[in-house]
Chains A and B, each alone.
Chain A
Amino acid sequence: MELIPVLIIMIPIFASMIVYLTDTKYSNNVVFVAQGTLSILAVKYFIEFEGLKEKHLLNLGNWNEVVSIVLRNDKISMLFIFLTILIWWMILIYIWDTKKRDSKFIFLLIFLEGVFLGLLQTNDLFTMFVFIEITTILSSILILYKMDGESVRAGLYYLLFNSVGMMFYLLGMAFIYYSEGTLNIDILTAKINIYQGLNLTNLSYISIMAAVGVKSAFFPVYNWLPKAHSAAPSSISALLSGLLVKSGLYVFIRINSMYGLETFREFFIILGIFTAISGAIFAVSQKDLKQILAFSTISQIGIIMIGLNQLEGETLGGIMHIINHGIFKTLLFLSGGAVVSLYKKRDVTKIRGLLKNYPLLSIFMIVGILSITGMPLFNGYVSKSIIKYGVYSKTLEYLMYFIDILTLTYFIKLSQIFFGEKNINLKNHKLGIYKKIPLYLLSLACIIFGNFYIPIYSLFTEASIKYINLFNISEWLLFGLKAAVAYFLYRIIVKKDYNFIKFLRRTNISFSSTNFLFILFITIMIIWKL
């Protein structure tokens, strides 16, 4: 059972090949067998190595470590592996009643799972590059799967911009290989010595981080994300938001712990604030349901960035927010996709009466909204409190409150779809059981992660989180106050739909300008280092 990490990568890939090559009615069910085996193997691996208190290395082919491919697992990667398997289960069940005959779609989806699991376990920079590139190619095919005009355009934009970004990863890799002579992350961690000033090591850090910035949608270069999300099928948007954007953040965690640079911590916190606030402002201006959720992802990535760069390298808040965001954003996108497919429109000012037409679906969506806005008893609250506890300046704390208020504002805008009268035309449309199961399980996960966080978090961390008190009256009052301010903001500014909001909604920049912003981003990082 030494080879479980390899099996975790290969089982989904083999299952996808079987689905694609046989292409019969029954063989598509192979993916469930594969998913089941995968879940059992992951749990077995976690138990066998006693919760992976120490990292487990698997050297493929027993070559010298400097040049060989090594798979590495620790607590963080295990946490991501569990999240990946969970979200793929949900998406598979969600698409099953409509896409069960579509072997090509299932092939791409399951292949992507194997590649993503590989990305989480790799221990050298080049294998990481290969896995990231395959992820980009596969997910762009999934984005343009509908093959209509909008999705094809968004798919090309996603593919080209992410590939250009990854070229800078290659450049950084060339620098680091030239100065250190290896690409193995463990050896590099021990070997890298950061000197002052600008040298090859720092330049490699900057260009790798620029690539990671494109992949995980940081402040000036997140243009591809809303396009891709609104064009993709809703199950794929859920996957993109819930996990694929996180591949960049995972690489960020790994690379940051490899270099151990202190200089850039403040830079990334400032970048996180910009990402969070600008994403939230754009989300407030949008009318399209999926666009609101897409910009909300950007805003949450900003919060995660603040959480990942806290004092003394403490990243617990950020990592847990990645997990929690993965769960509730998948829930929101899947339920939002269900709403869109039932009403056949995406404008939140036109959809009305969801609560009376589809009470169950509304409850799932409300659970998601309460989680993302950080209400106590739901999972978003826990990780947001850890992040707030870790910030070290008063200004930053007030900015976090401001971001919370903006988040509440655009979700109040979105929640207008619940109100209104019952719509008779919709009587014939029913939500299938396959669509209900994942929504139910994900909302349950939101509540479980929000209430029983101490036993769950203690599996993956030793840090004490006793300071979180769910029944602290002041926290509830604070949430109520923030909601009141947000409602006020919604009534006096957002609902009137002033011209500047229309202007923000129409703001759009071309591919070459996006690339210009990307070069600017790299330049700012170099200037910061000087």
Chain B
Amino acid sequence: MNPILSFIIMLIGIYGIVTSENIIKSIICFSIIETALILLFLNLGNGNHGDIPIILEGVKNMVDPLPQALMITTIVIGASTTALALMISIKIFHYYGTLEWDELLEREG
């Protein structure tokens, strides 16, 4: 896969986070950026188009296993951040009855 594709996905996410007015959409865009970066990182480790990084008979040309190890941690962090953000947005809806950033800003007083 081409790294350019990851950059395009990332730009979509950035466009979304700069323009979206809704909290849920912001969280989705954050997830899109994160997914793009995970793809980019995995792609970097796969530069030689090798085999899976497991020591088996016949596996010689392994891909770099480090990015995969790092990205699984990033996925966990991203999942917890998203879960927490969604939980807080439920609370916000309970208090304010809205999920639009603008309407929240008006009530800031």
Contact = CB atoms under 8 A, between A and B. Distances in A.
Q: Do A and B bind each other?
A: yes
A164 B17 contact: yes
Where chain A touches its partner, the secondary structure class is helix
Interface stretch (A147-155, A304-312, A450-458): A147-155
Contacts of A159: 81, 84-85, 88
Contacts of A171: 10, 37, 40
Where chain B touches its partner, the secondary structure class is helix
B73 A512 contact: no
B44 A178 contact: yes
A163 interface: yes
A163 B81 contact: yes
Interface in B20-45: 20-21, 23, 26-27, 30, 33-34, 37, 40-41, 44
B19 interface: yes
A160 B26 contact: yes
B37 A167 contact: yes
Interface string B4-21: 000000100010011111
Interface string A108-121: 00000000000000
A152 B88 contact: yes
Contact of A167 (B19, B27, B30, B91): B30
B18 A512 contact: yes
A137 to B, nearest CB: 6
A194 interface: no
Interface residues of A, number: 37
Interface string A160-178: 1001100100110110011
B43 to A, nearest CB: 9
B108 interface: yes
Contacts of A148: 95
A152 B95 contact: yes
A182 to B, nearest CB: 9
A407 B70 CA distance: 44
A126 B20 contact: no
A174 B81 contact: no
A515 interface: yes
A516 B16 CA distance: 11
Contact of B27 (A126, A130, A160, A174): A160
Contacts of A137: 80-81, 84
B104 interface: yes
Given A137-B84, A159-B81, A510 B30 contact: no
B95 A149 contact: yes
A519 B89 contact: no
A130 B74 CA distance: 8
B102 interface: yes
Given A133-B77, A155-B88, A164 B30 contact: yes
B57 to A, nearest CB: 24
Interface string A487-509: 00000000000000000000010
Contact of A152 (B41, B44, B92): B92
A256 interface: no
B1 interface: no
A129 B71 CA distance: 12
Nearest to B66: A67
A8 interface: no
Given A126-B70, A149-B92, A152-B95, 14 more contacts: A126-B73, A136-B81, A137-B81, A149-B95, A152-B88, A152-B91, A159-B81, A159-B84, A160-B26, A170-B37, A171-B40, A177-B44, A512-B18, A515-B18
13 contacts: A67-B66, A144-B88, A152-B91, A152-B95, A153-B104, A159-B85, A160-B85, A167-B37, A170-B34, A171-B10, A173-B41, A508-B108, A512-B26
